[in-house]
Structure 1
Amino acid sequence: MKTNFIRLNILFAAIIVVLVSSCNNKKEEIIELWYNKPAKTWEEALPIGNGRLGAMIYGDPQIEQIQFNEETLWNGSPRKYQRDNAYKSLDKIRQLLFDGKQDIAEKLAAKTFMGRLAYEDEFPVLKAQWVDSINHLDIVKKGVLSSFDDSTWPEMFIDYKSVWERKGLPDMNGAVLFRKTIDIPAQWKGKSLKIHLGKIKDHDFTYINGHLIGTKDESNTNRIYTIPAKFVKTGKNVIAVLINNYVSTGGFNAVRTGPKKMNITPVNFKADPLFIEGNWKYKVIDRKPPYYPEYQAKYQPFGVVRIEFEGHDSITNFRRSLEINNALSKTSYTCNGVQYQREYLASHPDNLIAVKLSSNKKNQLNFKACLETLHAIYNIEKIDDQTLALSIKVEDGEMKGTAYLNISSNDGIVNIKDNQIVVSNASEAVIKLIASTNYKAYNDISGNAKEICDAQLPIIESLQYDEIRTSHLNDYKPIFNRFSIDLGDHEKRQTPTDERIFNIKNQEDKDLAALYVQYARYLMLSSGREGTNPPNLQGIWNEEIYPAWGSKYTTNINCEMNFWPVEPLNISECHNTLFKLIDEVAIEGAKTAKAYYSAKGWVHHHNTDQWRGTAPINNSNHGIWVTGGAWLAHHLWEHYMYTQDKEFLKTKAYPLLKGSAEFFADFLVKDPKTGYLISTPSNSPEHGGLVAGPTMDHQIIRSLFKIVIESSDILDTDHEFAAMLKDKLTQMAPDQIGKHGQLQEWMEDKDDTTDTHRHISHLWGVHPGNEITWDNNPELMKAAKQSLIYRGDDGTGWSLAWKINFWARFLDGNHANTMIKMLLGSALDPERNGGGGSYPNLFDAHPPFQIDGNFGGAAGIVEMIMQSHQGYIQLLPALPDSWQSGSIKGLKARGGFEIDMEWNEGKLYSLSVLSTAGNKLKIKYGKQMIEQETRAGETYQINNLIN
């Protein structure tokens, strides 16, 4: 068949411009999440952000909450993460693994090969002193006695699910004494008893009637103690538990094994258990334990803007929304015949959060606003007659922050009273929020947050809301509008978003899938704008002092997954935030490479934080994973593949890629059993412990070597180094197919077909890698598919997202669509098993919230529509049967191409391709393949692929 490419001439292009201008006169379609009730929880609130500042909007008519973050507010401070001379135990660890002594290897590595912890030297002494001081307090010595009067103490409900941060002591570490009075049955007289308290975090002293019956200093381990008969009396007895919690809040932390409720039973006497859950009396003894040694820092919340509207309790016509194509959140309602509106935005050009409040009648807008924070060290002060300042210091570390809340009104009265800004008799008011910290760079915290806010305040005070809004839209919309997707089902938009999320398990919602893609673009533009730090596990949104996993950067998939969609979804500049992190990690990673492996180049393990720690953390059975840096470096190559920017490849990407390859050229060792070069010590992320030769490592390293070799050829440089890498490639352990027809996860054929672990790391070569494809090695592709079948469909949010991408690469659109419905389905559905899904605000649920699923899921949806990882563009490779018609515009492909296309009745209907680099265009659709030379900047209308 003759290729039929039509080059658009100047006249045709002019006609297009006229048509586009005409279309722009039409009312813009709003792409939104919307709800008919206020948010009651953080997972219902709506996110806004400008890359530096993030906020969650609740939209409550009576008490509005705007919980906000500033991206550089972390605990900790710059420090040394590497352990000197760790390399001295490397050979011993490797030999133990070669000898099959995994347990001994892990124990040795835990002692000698993990990173340095903050406060690791001083904590043992300070802890012993603090515990001793607590135990000698009069309130503790008397409070454990049965005769003590606790009638004035507050109560906390403790049950088999309990953790104290959910029961009344949020974000608190320290010492708390709990007491409960129980009745021992007469028939238990003279019996020793067994008490099951479930898991406790971190350190307990457990008493009955003033007698110590057990103590354990272990985090989250079960407390089961024997109560000697001599300490027990029939009738009233008092249990007292002093819990010393040092890190991440805790206390009673649920019964996980054995009896599923906290209870007491007699020893060697058959009787029903005495359940001891319920209301316990408690007393906070001390809130300031010594700082606990931790491997890495935690991302911190900053504060809350709280706005109270008196009398707004009886409302109608309530609606709140997030217009993601405008990056505007809105709340509206009617109260006492007055219509109220609120509009919220986070401006990147003006670096502030702004809120416009209005009423449709004069003098009806009356409210009080204040600043609050969870941080214990803070100060609130008046700056001028309409500005309050909140200054904070993070307790654990050296970070400080200042936020200014400014409120103005053209027709109302604004004054400050009792650290509140009071607005009276207005019809319109504008709130402006700015914030800064002392962070200047990952290794420099010499900034002055208050001085920064002082300099910014007169600038923002001079800005009218309409000016802020206009500059915000002019900045945001040109980027957002580059891309569009339409999958149909528009009628579903009439249903509130939370209901759509809950309904998708029973009724497909293709428009929700399209919305999910655009929401991911919105979240990236809100948390990863150029010039800022990259989005972490939660983007820039976090409400907790002790967030799950520290809200850090987990680089054994989560951080990388965040950036899967940025190139295809036409927000390439957001990749620069990750490149900034890679630059910094490479500097610290060179130190780690030398200290741990006596190697050249740079290495990064499975987690990092604001201070760019690169050493192994947590536990040796999963923290010693060497390919985090190599995976990160692949994103530099991906950016080049999409943009074809050779200057970027030469000056930015190649030096980092080469440095990573230099490390592995030194690191790889010969396996004594097979003779192959392998990666060890390492692991298959969070699965199977410390091993020699995990499949994922080899896939990433092979891919890295090939990229460096190709880059060397493109740039005509380092040919000797490239030749050395080629030689090593021939010696590396290959992918292997196991006895179950699966792709082996390890060198040994030991995969468990009943294992449903959330990580599917050994399929990296399928996605995001491109080593294993249907074109090049179908047998390995079949084995990889079998492995995924064994792992099953259930998973946490990001795991579901990865599986969408896998099934797209396997060209099974219907199975991928099944995974989409699981990812988009309600995480709050009581029928749901295995976690995952979406919260009412469409945030991904790990659970709890992790933003990686949002980004990975969006990447998977477009991977079903177009793939370009095999050297050509493949159209509609994994289109589900139910996606019969749709369109997508502004979709980027590797090689420097941008695609607009439509399909109808499951078949391609129209296609145009913009060539941005002038490369040869190769397109596959069904069984057809066409090729054509192109010129940079020209658009090609393609007809012959259309059936």
Structure 2
Amino acid sequence: MINISLLDVKRLRRCKLVKGSFLIICLLGCHHDLSAQTQALKLWYNKPSQKWTDALPIGNGRLGGMIFGGVDTERVQFNEQTLWTGRPRAYQREGAVQYLPTIRKLLFEGKQKEAEALAEQHFMGKKDNEDDYTTLKAAWYKSVRNNTAPAATNYNDQGWKHINLPTEKGWETTPGFEGLDGAVWFRSTVNIPAEWAGKKLVLSLGRIRDIDYTYVNGTLVGNTDTTNYRRYKTPASVWHTGTNQIAVQVINFYDKGGLTSAYKELMVYPEDSTPEAGIPLSRTWKYWIQDDNVPAFPRYNADYQPFADVYLQFPKHGDVTGYKRDLDISNATAHVTYTSNGTTYTREYFSSAPDQVIAMHLTASQPGKITLNAVLKSLHKAVTIRKIDDHTLELSLKVRNGVLKGVTYLKAESSGGTLNVTNDGIAIVGANEATFYLAAATSFKNYHDVSGDPDAACKQTIQKLKDKSYAAIKAAHIRDYQNYFNLFSINLGEGKNAGMPTDERILHFNNVDDPSLISLYVQYGRYLLISSSRPGFMPANLQGIWNDLLTPPWGSKFTTNINLEMNYWPAEVLNLSACSQPLFNFIDDLTQTGQLTAKAHYGAHGWVLHHNTDLWRGTAPVNASNHGIWVTGAAWLCHQLWEHYEFTHDKEFLRTRAYPVMKSAAEFFVDFLIKDPKTGYLISVPSNSPEHGGLVAGPTMDHQIIRDLLKNCIAAEKILGTDAAFGKVLQGKYNQIAPNKIGKYGQLQEWMEDKDDPKDDHRHVSHMWGVYPGTDITWNTSALMKAAKQSMIFRGDEGTGWSIAWKTNIWARMHEGDHAYLMLTKLLSPADAVPNHEKGGIYHNMFDSHAPFQIDGNFGGAAGVSEMLLQSQMGYLDLLPALPSALPNGEVKGIRARGGFTLNLSWQKGALQQVEVRSDVGSPCTIKYQGKEISFPTQRGKVYRFNGSLKQL
């Protein structure tokens, strides 16, 4: 590990960033020896990737790449942060506010279903393409249904392609079907035995998305337009002994398509028998894509898109030995190395922020051994590839169902041998070494301007490399990256499994044999945040910046009912404050669009944000009324702004950036909160407890978040010395908001009504927001904390990846270190150890699994470890408040605390040994540890040292 002593602070300087007052502490002339940490800070493997979640991620905040490490064919799948579907547009539904009083009235009367139905019809946001879709869909649908010729028994399907059915995750993950929507025919035969003659047969096709027309020997036997399982009871007359022809036309309008059920569901069997006696139909079928030009489906949100792939195709190697691929997160470089026929081949990869390129460098231990073809490919339909010059290949694309264009340049350089560029690719023969630089850009300029010139941007990026060597580009990349990464270190000890390949370490993880896997996991979380959220660019989405699917899970959006916020939980405490800047810039935009939604849907001042947004900054209710109408997204994001102030005490940031946004969010709730006719309290209605329990009046989480916003606005107003009158208004509202309540089971109620189910294990633990990340419930409110603990016990310890991460932080905040550690072990468990049965945990490349991949669990898990070691939300430094017994020894350096402090601390045998506190702003400091307490004034920049008894050294 790099151990940055606080004595090194004399060698630190503060660096101003472009927008706002964000501070990065940058190492000057960093001379730390990195060799000692190389093994500890590497993910490494002794075989190439078998799937995307084995591949290794690189990123510079804008360009992300996934390195597969193949021997004969290397694949580098890459993304550019602004390539999305959709277009600039209005998301709010004008006039929705007229339905607000009726929706509220229905909820107050207990008529939830009626309220949801009304809201679904009139209160949701506006979908893209919704105005003319019905007409376009009807015409297209009629055209594909007019051709039923493939249903005929004698139809000639000799030219059709083959596919193995079912496709469990939809046909979008099947080669040739990526991103496909439309009409597809499938055909297969089945031999009916003589003993089934004259019997009615059940044709089971499992789940089909979206519509099927199913034929047996040319006769239509079934049609369903939902995702329900298809078990068609067919008359005996349509079948005959021997070979029978089955034909299925599947019509899919968007997202997952095809026959997507479990393998055991595809079969035919007698109606008077059981499926076990049937003939399986899970096999290779023939297919024909009839029409994939389906009209764009109305969508609430846009989808983040993959850009393209670079394939490096090598001559077939002989026997390969010594294979290794790794990702060194100490310097953000990935490597592949192996030996074949006496030559050792090495590849190196990184995504440079200073030069805005992905670099790929190939060398060999013997001269003249580098021979390969480099080609560009993309899943997008509208793609053009052409030669730019004697060193450069260009791929240009346009997204489907959207306005954005993208361009990538792949430039090649070689030493020795020959280099030839054609429209088909780049051929290098007999070189001593080769280097590729990949630039990519889109036409996106901001959320309402798509007039950018991606070709010119790529050309300019490549031209800037003209006089730079690979060594210089790499050195600049490492210096830039380490300005972030080297500010923090953690060492929890090393066990006997530390030398294993990373995938094996995950399979065998336990705290005795491999505590350093936790250290690696924390630092990997920091690596991913640095790589996906850099100043000047976009914030990290559900998958950071890494996505390989045209139809990614949940659109790979920005989900704001926990996931986007969780992405930034480690930013302040793990010394990556500058990585929050993209989020804060994003919030600035959302403030503008959120004002439009607040007015159109609620007739309110200020701004509001519901549970999902995207590149185009939509803020209206989306998806469905039973969970899409959730009004506290803006308030939660304001908590992130306040946290940044708490950690930095940057008053200029508070005055110019944070408080205006916070005030606007508070203005919305001044207008929105309404008196509950039953209790007289001010409550939030309509809303929901995220994705749980439907549309309601007064969910507990809302009130916790709103109280937090109002409290922080009041505090900010006092710090800034302005807006006293507004502060009084907020204090009056604060005092009237419905309080947290304890229910009949001793639990913290999730809703106004005492209706929690002790057997409910829902993944969202939304009413725990007041425990973490908020401070609505603390040990100063011990009865509520006890009730919160009871609710956590009821919810259980299982969950999706991000849910487990949240539970880790909650248990740590409750000072239950061993329980928090139990959750952490679940977060570090293998997600895909059982084939076709992924669960919450981590993949081979340590990506978090929801399942599938979501990056929030990586960030939440890293924050959870810090929460075990240091808490500062109560106005003092609480040292080792939830140290688990499984981690008795350790050291952390560069961890940050509210109040403007940076700490180094170490512990042995479960007891604090020493702590160093650097005061970054000169605030008064109080430290607490196991009943001991010390308070003292501080001077800015001065370091204070104490032993385990809090005696000053």
Distance 2:510 2:35 in 1: 33
Distance 2:458 2:948 in 1: 60
2:162 maps to what in 1?
A: 155
| 1:686-708 Cα distance to aligned partner (Å, 9 max, x none) | 11111111110010001111011
| 1:186-216 Cα distance to aligned partner (Å, 9 max, x none) | 5555554443322211122222222223323
2:840 maps to what in 1?
A: 836
2:228 maps to what in 1?
A: 221
| 1:258-297 Cα distance to aligned partner (Å, 9 max, x none) | xx52334545678944443333222111121111111100
Do residues 104 (structure 1) and 114 (structure 2) align? yes
Deviation at 1:654, TM superposition (A): 0.3
Counterpart of 2:255 (choices 233, 248, 255) is 248
1:57 maps to what in 2?
A: 67
Do residues 861 (structure 1) and 865 (structure 2) align? yes
1:573 maps to what in 2?
A: 578
Counterpart of 1:205 (choices 196, 213, 216) is 213
Structure 1 residues 201 and 630: CA distance shift in structure 2, 3 A: same
Do residues 792 (structure 1) and 799 (structure 2) align? no
Letter in 2 for 1:697: D
Structure 1 residues 265 and 102: CA distance shift in structure 2, 3 A: farther
| 1:542-561 Cα distance to aligned partner (Å, 9 max, x none) | 11111000000000000000
1:818 maps to what in 2?
A: 822
Distance 1:851 1:436 in 2: 23
1:195 maps to what in 2?
A: 203
| 1:577-630 Cα distance to aligned partner (Å, 9 max, x none) | 100111111110000000000000000000000001111111111111111111
Distance 1:79 1:9 in 2: 50
Deviation at 1:674, TM superposition (A): 1.2
Counterpart of 1:925 (choices 929, 939, 942) is 929
Percent identity, aligned pairs only, is 49
Assess if the C-alpha contact under 8 Å between 2:211 and 2:223 holds in 1. yes
Distance 1:310 1:524 in 2: 37
1:734 maps to what in 2?
A: 739
Structure 1 residues 364 and 276: CA distance shift in structure 2, 3 A: closer
Deviation at 1:167, TM superposition (A): 4.5
Question: Structure 1 runs of 4+ off > 6 angstroms?
Answer: 8-14, 20-23, 268-271, 831-834
Distance 2:516 2:77 in 1: 29
1:38 maps to what in 2?
A: 48
Assess if the C-alpha contact under 8 Å between 1:624 and 1:683 holds in 2. yes
Assess if the C-alpha contact under 8 Å between 1:298 and 1:547 holds in 2. yes
1:456 maps to what in 2?
A: 461
Distance 1:938 1:796 in 2: 43
Assess if the C-alpha contact under 8 Å between 1:809 and 1:863 holds in 2. yes
Counterparts of residues 125-524 of structure 1 (less than 5 Å):
125-137=135-147, 141-159=148-166, 161=168, 163-168=170-175, 169-186=177-194, 188-218=196-226, 220-254=227-261, 261-267=265-271, 272-417=277-422, 419-489=424-494, 491-504=496-509, 509-524=514-529
1:85 maps to what in 2?
A: 95
Assess if the C-alpha contact under 8 Å between 1:162 and 1:252 holds in 2. no
Letter in 2 for 1:898: T
Deviation at 1:833, TM superposition (A): 8.2
| 1:294-353 Cα distance to aligned partner (Å, 9 max, x none) | 110000001111001103242111111111010111111111111111111111011111
Letter in 1 for 2:51: T
Assess if the C-alpha contact under 8 Å between 2:302 and 2:615 holds in 1. yes
Distance 1:517 1:329 in 2: 18
Distance 1:905 1:822 in 2: 24
Deviation at 1:821, TM superposition (A): 1.1
Q: Unaligned 5+ residue runs, structure 2?
A: 12-27
Secondary structure (helix, strand or coil) at the match of 1:249 reads: coil
Structure 1-normalised TM-score? 0.95
Distance 2:112 2:8 in 1: 71
Distance 2:835 2:852 in 1: 17
Letter in 2 for 1:471: A
Deviation at 1:366, TM superposition (A): 1.1
Distance 1:9 1:821 in 2: 31
Secondary structure (helix, strand or coil) at the match of 2:359 reads: strand
Counterpart of 1:885 (choices 886, 889, 895) is 889
Assess if the C-alpha contact under 8 Å between 2:347 and 2:363 holds in 1. yes
Structure 1 residues 266 and 596: CA distance shift in structure 2, 3 A: same
Distance 2:248 2:130 in 1: 27
Assess if the C-alpha contact under 8 Å between 2:172 and 2:551 holds in 1. no
Secondary structure (helix, strand or coil) at the match of 1:631 reads: helix
Distance 2:626 2:389 in 1: 55
Assess if the C-alpha contact under 8 Å between 1:170 and 1:249 holds in 2. no
1:801 maps to what in 2?
A: 805
Distance 2:622 2:140 in 1: 26
Distance 2:485 2:501 in 1: 23
Do residues 777 (structure 1) and 777 (structure 2) align? no
1:70 maps to what in 2?
A: 80
Assess if the C-alpha contact under 8 Å between 2:168 and 2:261 holds in 1. yes
1:680 maps to what in 2?
A: 685
Distance 1:800 1:810 in 2: 15
Distance 1:9 1:370 in 2: 49
Assess if the C-alpha contact under 8 Å between 2:363 and 2:370 holds in 1. yes
Deviation at 1:830, TM superposition (A): 2.2
- Taking only aligned residues, the RMSD between alpha carbons, in angstroms, comes to 2.2
Deviation at 1:785, TM superposition (A): 0.8
| 1:698-750 Cα distance to aligned partner (Å, 9 max, x none) | 10001111011111111111111111111112211111111111111111111
Secondary structure (helix, strand or coil) at the match of 2:189 reads: strand
Secondary structure (helix, strand or coil) at the match of 1:460 reads: coil
Distance 1:341 1:702 in 2: 56
Distance 2:498 2:834 in 1: 25
Assess if the C-alpha contact under 8 Å between 1:794 and 1:834 holds in 2. no
Deviation at 1:456, TM superposition (A): 2.3
Assess if the C-alpha contact under 8 Å between 1:901 and 1:912 holds in 2. yes
Deviation at 1:653, TM superposition (A): 0.2
Assess if the C-alpha contact under 8 Å between 1:795 and 1:834 holds in 2. no
Structure 1 residues 576 and 23: CA distance shift in structure 2, 3 A: closer
Deviation at 1:364, TM superposition (A): 1.1
Distance 1:896 1:910 in 2: 19
Assess if the C-alpha contact under 8 Å between 2:386 and 2:423 holds in 1. no
Assess if the C-alpha contact under 8 Å between 1:160 and 1:261 holds in 2. no
Structure 1 residues 161 and 68: CA distance shift in structure 2, 3 A: closer
Q: Unaligned 5+ residue runs, structure 1?
A: 1-7, 15-19
Secondary structure (helix, strand or coil) at the match of 1:777 reads: helix
Secondary structure (helix, strand or coil) at the match of 1:430 reads: strand
Aligned residues: 927
Assess if the C-alpha contact under 8 Å between 2:387 and 2:423 holds in 1. no
Do residues 703 (structure 1) and 711 (structure 2) align? no
Structure 1 residues 11 and 761: CA distance shift in structure 2, 3 A: closer
Structure 1 residues 288 and 834: CA distance shift in structure 2, 3 A: closer
Deviation at 1:162, TM superposition (A): 6.5
Deviation at 1:121, TM superposition (A): 1.4
Structure 1 residues 313 and 578: CA distance shift in structure 2, 3 A: farther
2:597 maps to what in 1?
A: 592
Structure 1 residues 787 and 145: CA distance shift in structure 2, 3 A: same
Structure 1 residues 10 and 907: CA distance shift in structure 2, 3 A: closer
